[in-house]
Amino acid sequence: MRDYETFFRTNRLPHIWCPGCGHGIAMKAIAKAIAKLDLDQDKTVIVSGIGCSSRASGYMDFDTLHTAHGRALPFATGIKLANPELNVIVITGDGDCMAIGGNHFIHAARRNIDLTVILFNNNIYGMTGGQASPLTPVEKKATTAPYGTFDRPFNPCEVAKTAGATYIARGTAFHAAPLVDLIAQGIQNKGFSFIETLVQCPTSYGRRNKMGSAAAMLKDMSETVIPLAAYNRLSTEERNEKLPSGVLHTDVFPEYAAEYAKIIKQAGGDKA
Ligand SMILES: Cc1ncc(C[n+]2csc(CCOP(=O)(O)OP(=O)(O)O)c2C)c(N)n1
Ligand code: SF4
């Protein structure tokens, strides 16, 4: 097995992330999952949109695409359809994935195309200074909600499930070791895989909401996010305060790129 550290472009360091940002932990988990599965570096592509989270693609030594805000999934879809043998991994933020990119997300999930999407969820638009995203919890403050937002947030795992994703998991930057396994399982699923990864943004989110240091935010995560089995034992009222982690949903549907290849064959297109 290759050392995961060899999967970084060290000449691009130092990274741009603030001290205590959780994005680096999530990026490391992806590199470790790739190492664990012993994926071919030349057959693995990392695609991202725009945001602090999406900067991760630039630090990872694979074929990488840093695309436009919200548009990682259309690029990733094109890559997968043109080269179905590639492992295509998408890194995205909560604004990138669920706001501007929300429509791409539901349709990529609906198609069950073989992509692994890792959402670095810091509950805020970090890069642009702290606007509320569709995943900002009610009452949390943002530059666009100085008195606290009253927009109801999405549960991205539920959106993914409703849209048709065939592997859905939730992990956190605090639970870094199990996160590696959740990502590895997602990569192995032949279909649309979604791993929501909760990460701390001490700068644009934590500071405004008086959540303390990065360490305090991680501690909070460790108490709020609990294994699915433990979550299922809670009362409805108790569940309001917690989030389940681990593999939340799996399903089996035909994979889009494989179905597409069949149609090409049927139409005689593979003779060219
Ligand atoms: C089309 C377009 N709209 C808006 C922007 C400005 N913009 C850049 S990053 C960003 C938000 C990033 O937030 P998120 O996706 O949650 O990632 P984070 O920075 O929190 O990791 C926005 C609105 C842009 N670059 N392009
Ligand atoms: S603003 Fe937030 S998300 Fe962006 S690098 Fe800083 S801590 Fe990370």
| Domains contained in the chain, CATH given | 4-271 (3.40.50.970)
Q: Is the pLDDT of residue 127 over 80?
A: yes
Stretch 225-241: mean pLDDT:
97
Stretch 14-20: mean pLDDT:
97
Atom of ligand 1 nearest to the CA of 204: 20
Ligand 2 lined by 56 (C-beta under 6 Å): no
- Provide the pLDDT confidence category of residue 269 given band limits of 50, 70 and 90: confident
pLDDT in tens, 42-68: 999 999 999 999 999 999 999 999 999
Taking the C-alpha atoms of 134, 135, 141 and 145 in order, what is their torsion angle to the nearest 10 degrees?
0
- CA 104 – CA 17 distance, rounded (Å): 27
Is the CB of residue 227 less than 8 Å from the CB of residue 181? no
Structure tokens at 35: 């190492």
Q: Is the pLDDT of residue 272 over 90?
A: no
Q: Is the pLDDT of residue 270 over 70?
A: no
Atom of ligand 1 nearest to the CA of 127: 19
Residue 125 is given by DSSP the state B
Residue 13 is given by DSSP the state P
Average pLDDT, the chain: 97
Give residues (CB < 6 A) around ligand 1.
50-53, 69, 93-96, 120, 122, 124-128, 133
